[in-house]
Amino acid sequence: MANVIAASKLTLAYDNGRKEIIKNASFNVRKGEFVFITGPSGSGKSTLLKALYGALRPKEGTLTVGGLDMGRIGRGKLQELRTHLGIIFQDYKLINEWTVEKNVVLPLIIAGYSIDIQQTQAKKLLRHVKLTEQADRYPLELSGGEQQRVGVARALSKNPFLILADEPTGNLDEYSSNVIWDLMENACDQLGSTVVVVTHRIPTMFNIPYRHFIIESKGIYEVR
């Protein structure tokens, strides 16, 4: 099966390359896989995710996402790649001036879909994340769990080939966390998206096969 992500001798660093976070790491993620990446705080989990959506360029080695070399990718290609990704953040990153419905269809707005398609897809996704009643409300009027469900719905709205999630349940209670994990399982299992989740802790009840990488001492190791 084709690799969606391929890293070879990858080194990631901040401060113009002076502060290395990940060094000489190699790993692959294949299409349709569900991957957890864990590690202690400050180990470089979020840094790796940033590199996967192109906010951080590799210092050394190669990193390809969807076949594109993230070390050499230009702005235009990166924009294009990002329209095919679903990204979920711990702090939700919702646009507070926009309604829940408009936030959900942001990737469709960017892709230039018609209003009709946007509305149809928004209804479907909001039903899916159980937020139909909140469609016309604004993010700050929702609870943290609800806001994250909006974030997940937004990530799924354009059927991305790759979903990247940074601590998606970090701030949530158990009920909301379970809802989020169910949605992510479905995205992988039923929609065929590849999912990479950075988290402190893998959920105890997880119903689909997954791979588990751990980041430690600047290296990335597969433990399952």
Partner 1 sequence: MKSVKDHLMFLLPLLAILLGVEFFLVFDRVTKNYEEKLRQSYSILVVSEKVMSPKDFRRIDPHIARTDPIDKKTIAKEIARGMQNAADAEILAALPHFYNLHLDRYLSRSDVEKIRKKLLAVKGIKKVETFGENHRAKYNLFIFLKIIFWSFAGLMSLVSIFLVMKQMEVWQLAHRERMQIMEIFGAPMLLRSGVLFRMGIVDALLATGIAVSLFAVLRYYYAPISGIEILMDRQALLFEPRDAAILAGIALAIVIVAVLNVAIKSRERQE
Summarize as ranges the residues that interact with partner 1 (CB under 8 A).
14, 53-57, 78-83, 85, 87, 93-98, 106-107, 109-110, 154
- The nearest distance, CB 80 to partner 1, in angstroms, is 7
- The nearest distance, CB 222 to partner 1, in angstroms, is 26
Pick between residue 10 and residue 38 the one whose CB is nearest to partner 1.
10
Residue 221 CA to residue 224 CA, distance in Å, equals: 9
Pick between residue 57 and residue 211 the one whose CB is nearest to partner 1.
57
Residue 153 CA to residue 102 CA, distance in Å, equals: 11
- The nearest distance, CB 111 to partner 1, in angstroms, is 8
Pick between residue 17 and residue 209 the one whose CB is nearest to partner 1.
17
One-letter-per-residue 3-state SS of 172-219? CCHHHHHHHHHHHHHHHHCCCCEEEEECCCCCCCCCCCCEEEEEECCE
SS3 content of the chain, % helix, strand, coil (to 5): 35, 25, 40
Pick between residue 6 and residue 81 the one whose CB is nearest to partner 1.
81
- The nearest distance, CB 164 to partner 1, in angstroms, is 10
